[in-house]
Structure 1
Amino acid sequence: MKLISWNVNGIRACINKGFIDIVDALDADVFCLQETKAQPEQIEISKELYPYQYAYSAVRKGYSGTMILSRKEPLSVSYGLQIEEHDQEGRVITAEFENFYLVTVYTPNSGDGLKRLDYRMEWDKAFSSYIQSLDKPVVICGDLNVANEEIDIKNPKTNRRNAGFTDEERDSFKANLLPYLKDTFRTLYPDKVQYSWWSYRFNARKNNAGWRIDYWLVSPELMEKVEDSKILTDIYGSDHCPIELDITL
C-alpha cells in the first residue's frame, strides 16, 4: 500500500494551489489530511479520485480539522478520542481495515508563549491511551507538532523553549508514543536530515530552516512490513510537505 499524509494548512487554499493534480499524481491508496480548516460541505474532491471520503471538522469554523480519502472502503470509521474535552477540534479520524487501524491526527500546538502546553500534555496522555485501546496493530500519521530530536530541527538551540521543541513536548512524545510505536522514517534513516515543515517567515523553506514534525508511526510488529518512509520535500502547496509510507498490509 502507498499511504500519504499531508498537513494542507487549509484545504480550500491548497486546492487553489494544485492540490487535486498533486493527489492524482501521487496515486496513493489512502490520503490523510490535517489542518483542513473547513466544514465537510466546503471540501470538493472528486469521488472518482477517492470514492470514500471522511471529514472531521472543528466546532470552531476555519480551524483545525482532519480528513481521510480512501480507494477502499474501511470496515468502520470513528471520529475523535471519545472524550468530549478533546473532541471539539476535529483532530483524530480512525479507519479500521482488516488487519490494522489507520489513524490520522493533528496534535494540538502548544501555541505562542506555550499557553496551551498544559492542555497539550493532557492531550498526549489521552491520545496514547486511545491508541493502546485499539485491538489491532496501528498505523498513525499526521502533524504531531513535535520535533523529537535535535536532528529533526534546523536550529535546536534557539528553539529550545518554542512550541514543538520544548523538553516537555519531546519527553511526552518519548513517554506516550515511542514505547508503543516505531517512527518509521527515523528507524529506516537514523542519520538522515530532512524536514517536513518550514515557517512562512524568513525564507525558511528556501533556506531549508525546517522541522520534522510530520510522522508515520506503526506498531512494532508492522515495522518489518514497511518498505519505505519518505518526506516529499519537492511538493509545495502548504507550509508542510506530504510524507509517504510504503507498506505491505
Structure 2
Amino acid sequence: MKLISWNVNGIRAVMKKGFTDVLDELDADFVCIQETKAHPEQIESYTDNYPYQYINSAKRKGYSGTMVLCKKKPLSIKYGINVPEFDDEGRIITLEYPEFYLVTVYTPTSGDGLMRLDYRLEWDEAFGNYLKSLDKPVMACGDFNVANNEIDVPYPDMIRGTAGFSDEERDSFKENLLSNLVDTYRVLNPETIQYSWWSYRGQARENNIGMRLDYWLVSNDLKDKIVDSKILDDIYGSDHCPIMLDINI
C-alpha cells in the first residue's frame, strides 16, 4: 500500500503547478494534504482516481486546513480531536479502516520568537493522547513542524531555539509522539541527511538549506511492515515536497 503526504502551501496554488499530474504519476492509494488554505467550495474536485475526498477547513479563510484523497471508502471519518481550542483550524482528519487508522495532521508552528510555543506544546500533548486512545494501529502523517534530530537541519548550533528546532518542541515530539510511534524514514535511513521543507527566501531550495519537518509515523506494531519511506525532493510546487510511505498492510 502506497501513501503520500504533502504540505502544498495552498491547494489552489499547487493546482496551477501540475498537482494532478504529480498525483497521477505517483498513483498512491492515499494522498494526505496539509495547508490547503481553502474551504470545500474553493477546492476543485479530483475524482478520476480518488472517488473519496475528505476536507477539514479552518474557520478562518485562507488558512491551515487538511484534506485526504483515497481510493477506498473508510469505515468512519473524524475531523479534529474533540478539543475545541484545537479544532477550529482544520488541522486533523482521521480515517478508520478495518486494520488501521490513518491520521493526517498539520501541526501549528510556534511562530517567530516562539510566540505560540505554549499553545504548540499543549497541542502536542493533546494530539499525542488522542493517537494513544485509538484502538487500532495508527499511521500518522503530515507537517509536524519540528526537526527531530540535528541531522534534520543544516546548521543545528546556529538555529537551535528557533521555531521547529527548539529544545522544547523536540522534547515534546519525542515524549508525545515518538514514545508510541516510529519515524519510518529514520527506521530505514538512520544517517541520511535529507530535507522536506525549504524557505522561499535566499535560494534555499537551490542550495538545499532546509529542514525535515514532514513525517510518516506508524505504531510499533506496524514497524516490521514498512517496505519503504522516501522524501520526494525532486517534486516541486510547494515549499514542502511530498513524502511517501510504502507499507504491507
Q: Same fold (TM over 0.5)?
A: yes
Deviation, 1:49, is 2.1
**Correspondence for 2:4:** 4
Deviation, 1:178, is 0.7
Residue-pair matches, total = 249
**Correspondence for 2:236:** 236
Letter in 1 for 2:6: W
Displacement over 3 Å in runs of 4+: none
- Partners of 1:173 and 1:35 in 2: how far apart? 20
Percent of residue pairs bearing the same amino acid type: 67
TM-score, normalised to structure 2, is 0.99
Q: Deviations over 1:55-106 (max 9, x none)?
A: 0000000000000000000111100011111101000000001100000000
- Partners of 1:121 and 1:169 in 2: how far apart? 7
Deviation, 1:156, is 1.0
- Partners of 2:144 and 2:17 in 1: how far apart? 24
2:140 counterpart SS class: strand
Does the 8 Å CA contact 1:20/1:45 hold for their aligned counterparts? Answer: no
Deviation, 1:48, is 1.7
**Correspondence for 1:98:** 98
2:69 counterpart SS class: strand
- Partners of 2:248 and 2:113 in 1: how far apart? 42
- Partners of 2:228 and 2:135 in 1: how far apart? 25
**Correspondence for 1:136:** 136
Letter in 1 for 2:197: W
**Correspondence for 2:127:** 127
- Partners of 1:50 and 1:44 in 2: how far apart? 13
- Partners of 1:41 and 1:224 in 2: how far apart? 41
Deviation, 1:46, is 2.3
Counterparts of residues 42-121 of structure 1 (less than 5 Å): 42-121=42-121
Letter in 2 for 1:248: N
Question: What is the CA RMSD across the aligned residues, in angstroms?
Answer: 0.6
TM-score, normalised to structure 1, is 0.99
Q: Which has the higher mean CA deviation after the structures are superposed, 155-164 or 225-234? A: 155-164
Letter in 2 for 1:49: N
Deviation, 1:41, is 1.0
Counterparts of residues 87-236 of structure 1 (less than 5 Å): 87-236=87-236
- Partners of 2:9 and 2:46 in 1: how far apart? 20
- Partners of 1:234 and 1:36 in 2: how far apart? 21
- Partners of 1:48 and 1:18 in 2: how far apart? 15
1:177 counterpart SS class: helix
Unpaired runs of 5+ in structure 1? none
1:227 counterpart SS class: strand
